Amino acid sequence: MIVGKQKPLPEIREMIADYGNILILGCGTCATVCFAGGEREVDILASSLGIAAKLEGKERVTTKHTVKRQCEWEFLDEIEEKVKQADAVLSLGCGVGVQAIAERFPEIPVLPGLDTLFMGMPVEEGVWVERCVGCGNCILNQTGGICPIARCPKGLINGPCGGYRDGKCEVDPTRDCAWVLIYERLKKMGRLDMLHTSQPLKDYSKMGHPRSITR
């Protein structure tokens, strides 16, 4: 899933300062799961912005809505009328969602209420960690299903840097060394032999932007 976090309220207030009628739009998929931009967060943000407007003595109308997914045009059709009534859309979806709305409704400003962070997964209540950087050439089959690009701060693909201590990364001792995890996993799988095969230089041209696929 795509993980994001809501921008600080003062930043959002500054962003919407020029607009009197705002459609706050949540996303029912990733942004909901990471508690950044689902229905609940839309409600809370609308209340906070309403209180802030009152304190400033400003008139501001906010409309709330949450679509199933902001990143697909077919789910945006249902907001067409609400978009027509608004001066701006404040999106609580990821950056893809913001751009999908902007492309679907080119006449209205679309403002990002979230900072999109990474592709990751929850590891405990309220904690998400990055697991993939979308390198375009997956090598998880050779690294025991653990991504050294996303999980090693140096992105090393041929073993550890040698700086780890007690299984922890030298760059950030609060994190496990990705290569120690890879070693332990391959050991459990009885496939330590895989460590004898060196990876070719990573072809980062596959990360060139913008990327697309056709199926």
Question: Interaction with ligand SF4 in 109-148: which residues (CB under 6 A)?
Answer: 132-135, 138-140, 147
List all residues 6 or more positions away from 150 whose beta carbon is below 8 Å from its beta carbon: 118, 119, 130, 131, 132, 133
The answer to whether residue 207 forms part of the interface with ligand SF4 (CB under 6 A) is no
Closer residue to ligand SF4, CB minimum distance, 50 or 163: 163
Chosen residue from 42, 98, 169, 186 binding ligand SF4 by CB under 6 A? 169
List all residues 6 or more positions away from 13 whose beta carbon is below 8 Å from its beta carbon: 49, 52
The answer to whether residues 98 and 116 touch, using CB atoms and an 8 Å cutoff, is no
Q: Per DSSP, what are the bridge partners of residue 25?
A: 65, 91
Residue 108 beta carbon to ligand SF4: minimum distance, rounded to whole angstroms:
34
Residue 144 beta carbon to ligand SF4: minimum distance, rounded to whole angstroms:
12
The answer to whether residue 3 forms part of the interface with ligand SF4 (CB under 6 A) is no
Q: Where are the alpha helices (DSSP H) in the chain?
A: 9-16, 30-33, 39-56, 80-85, 95-104, 148-151, 178-188
Closer residue to ligand SF4, CB minimum distance, 101 or 150: 150
Say how far apart CA 119 and CA 209 lie, in whole Å: 17
The answer to whether residues 152 and 169 touch, using CB atoms and an 8 Å cutoff, is yes
Residue 210 beta carbon to ligand SF4: minimum distance, rounded to whole angstroms:
17
Site string (65-84) toward ligand SF4, x via CB under 6 A: --------------------
Closer residue to ligand SF4, CB minimum distance, 15 or 161: 161
For ligand SF4, which stretch binds (CB under 6 A), given 11-19, 39-47, 86-94, 162-170? 162-170
The alpha carbon torsion through 199, 204, 210, 211 (nearest 10 deg) reads -20
Closer residue to ligand SF4, CB minimum distance, 17 or 194: 194
Residues forming contacts to ligand SF4 in the complex (CB under 6 A) are 132-135, 138-140, 147, 149-150, 152-154, 156, 160-161, 163-164, 169-171, 177-179
